Structure 1
Amino acid sequence: MKRDIKIFEFPLNLGLVKKIHETEPGVKKLPDWLRKFSFHKKIQPTHIFRLEAPAYSMDLDEDSNVRNANEIIKYAKKQSETVLNHYDKNSFNIFLGGDCSILIGNALALKKLGTYGLFYLDGHTDFIPAELSETGGAAGMDLAIVSGTGHKKLTDINGLKPYFSEENIFCCGNAETEDEDYVNQIINSQVHYFDIHNLRKNGFKKTAEDFLHIVHKKNLDGFLIHLDVDILKDEIMPAVDCRMEDGIGYADLKEILTPLIHHQQCFGIEITILDPDYDKDGIYTKIFIENIIQIINKED
């Protein structure tokens, strides 16, 4: 990685519904947790920026049926401003969540910069409207929101809908394949969709290369990578909000991320959902850091 690296800390947890035993979702601790295990030190960023999140709540917005919609929108606007105020086309950006709803603020920033693609690597599609959500949490609908599906207050902030065009999105890794209504939402869209089985079938490196071909063919201004750590097998990453048994391994992650991260048009990567409360000794976090550092710091 020859470009300067900037780290943005966005410890937002308003997109998740707390479990019965929780005071609030622990994903907001992720940036500090990674710092504790020397992630920042090993990355050696030129700058670190942080935007504190509002206090946690479970308010259900009556207009959108999305919890904390108004606060998420306010945060997304501030987040977008933070990204744009520190934008440098020659930098690689690492965005540390928080939950998946940090995608909304990053998407707003990129829409203002041009036409960008999105490589969405996640154990779920997160591509459903509010009426299909059991929780009303934005983190389970963020891909739908940023591509224009959902209430306009979330999908059309500042009149920028859609933040990403469906045909410029690859959604890879969904392991929740048994729910037909859930899966049909993305199958019936123009998103390039590879569930966990088809991702393996198509090949990890080839899927990344297929995406890069579209970026080049459509002359996009660049692209963002979304990495929800629940894409990883439960045995190597159980410290997540919604555990799924099936997933990919670290060798697979390296194979798919390396060509993307080291492409000059990669704007950056956002890392979400790793919950320190479910990894008290950092056992799984340390291994994750070791692997992601190797991928990012790999010499071209």
Structure 2
Amino acid sequence: MKEICIVEFPSNLGLKEPQPGKEPGVKKLPDWLWKHNLHKAISHNILRLDPPKYSNSKDVETQILNANSLVEYAREQAYLINNLLTQNKFPFILGGDCSILLGTAIALKQKGNYGLFYLDGHTDFMNISLSETGGVGGMAASIVTGNGHEKLTNILNLSPYIKEENLWCVGNREYDDEYENEIRNSSATYLSLHELRKQGISNSVKSFLQEVETKNLDGFWLHIDVDVLNDSIMPCVDSRTPDGLTYNEFNELTSYLFQGNKLSGLEITILDPDLDTTGEYTKNFVTNLTSTFNTFKNTIN
């Protein structure tokens, strides 16, 4: 069994301000999860990398929020993650918003050819032309597969960090043709929430794991945006949408992935402590996630 290392990336660089002069609260997530006993349940081995200062202004060249800071942070993240993977450790990453994926994806590219299981209530596979905010959080899956401005897609001349055909985008429920066509027209595998339920969770994950083996990938990464969960059990996110996975569905899905023998690490994003003042939603999330993970963590090799 690999040694599990919790890595804290408390970044909000990929999101717009929720209101003028107020930073997105998701940067408080690692501390909030610590308060609700996630660390105690998972590992006492903890690393932290604080991000550059947040700004709500767009980069002139790319029209993206915090573009230069994101590049700087991604390089530092990649160095840290690369070291952990070299030591054969399992990074259990706590964000932050979805832009934290950039650093991880760079590290994975430096190590080999990896798959990405992107479990999210949105595809995050969007061109800047469709983005109203310029926030990388809504474009992360697209950027790491080489789509977009090279300032972000080609850091360290490593584009694409993840090959588009090795991306599985699962759980989207923002049903809009213009939005969905971006991923439909790519070579990624796209399973909306509707399609996931139609095909069945077990069949869907087995297909992904089989593909990882067939392609002889060096491993795969699991991205969990908590907004993939049903809005009634996880409303403390920046972009709420009706429906979503129940905890039974989420636990079933993650249990299959945790048993995948090429799982290299995972990350958790988007839960905003400012939107869960009593902690009730966070507490339930921690209970479900840690229970499922700890059931299967001995299979991580």
Considering the TM-score relative to the shorter chain, is it more than 0.5? yes
**Which moves more between the two structures, 108-117 or 264-273?**
264-273
Q: 2:97 aligns with which of 83, 96, 99?
A: 99
What's the secondary structure of 1:274's corresponding residue?
Answer: coil
1: CA distance between counterparts of 2:220 and 2:160?
15
Q: How does 1:1-300 map to 2 (within 5 A)?
A: 2-20=1-19, 23-45=22-44, 47-88=45-86, 90-177=88-175, 179-299=176-296, 300=299
> How much has 1:87 moved relative to structure 2?
2.5
> How much has 1:287 moved relative to structure 2?
0.2
Is the Cα contact below 8 Å between 1:30 and 1:276 reproduced in 2? yes
1: CA distance between counterparts of 2:19 and 2:219?
41
> How much has 1:79 moved relative to structure 2?
0.4
- TM-score, normalization by structure 2: 0.96
5+ unaligned residues in a row in structure 1: which ranges? none
> How much has 1:259 moved relative to structure 2?
1.7
2: CA distance between counterparts of 1:277 and 1:182?
28
Number of residue pairs aligned between Structure 1 and Structure 2: 297
**Residue identity matched to 1:14:** L
1: CA distance between counterparts of 2:136 and 2:245?
24
- TM-score, normalization by structure 1: 0.96
Is the Cα contact below 8 Å between 2:56 and 2:65 reproduced in 1? yes
Is the Cα contact below 8 Å between 2:81 and 2:91 reproduced in 1? no
Q: Deviations over 1:97-154 (max 9, x none)?
A: 0000000000000000000000000000011111110111000000000001100111
Is the Cα contact below 8 Å between 2:93 and 2:267 reproduced in 1? yes
Distance change (3 Å), C-alpha of 1:201 and 1:61: same
> How much has 1:254 moved relative to structure 2?
1.2
What's the secondary structure of 2:72's corresponding residue?
Answer: helix
Is the Cα contact below 8 Å between 2:84 and 2:91 reproduced in 1? no
Is the Cα contact below 8 Å between 1:208 and 1:257 reproduced in 2? no
1: CA distance between counterparts of 2:150 and 2:86?
30
What's the secondary structure of 2:12's corresponding residue?
Answer: coil
Q: Deviations over 1:52-111 (max 9, x none)?
A: 112221120121111111100100000001111233464322110000000000000000
> How much has 1:208 moved relative to structure 2?
1.1
**Which moves more between the two structures, 196-205 or 88-97?**
88-97
**Residue identity matched to 2:19:** I
What's the secondary structure of 2:171's corresponding residue?
Answer: strand
2: CA distance between counterparts of 1:235 and 1:209?
28
2: CA distance between counterparts of 1:94 and 1:114?
19
5+ unaligned residues in a row in structure 2: which ranges? none
What's the secondary structure of 2:152's corresponding residue?
Answer: helix
1: CA distance between counterparts of 2:16 and 2:88?
37
Identity %: 50
Q: Any runs of at least 4 consecutive aligned residues in structure 1 with deviations exceeding 6 A, and if so which?
A: none
Is the Cα contact below 8 Å between 2:6 and 2:43 reproduced in 1? no
2: CA distance between counterparts of 1:165 and 1:87?
19
> How much has 1:281 moved relative to structure 2?
1.0
Is the Cα contact below 8 Å between 1:101 and 1:142 reproduced in 2? yes
Is the Cα contact below 8 Å between 2:116 and 2:167 reproduced in 1? yes
**Residue identity matched to 1:6:** C
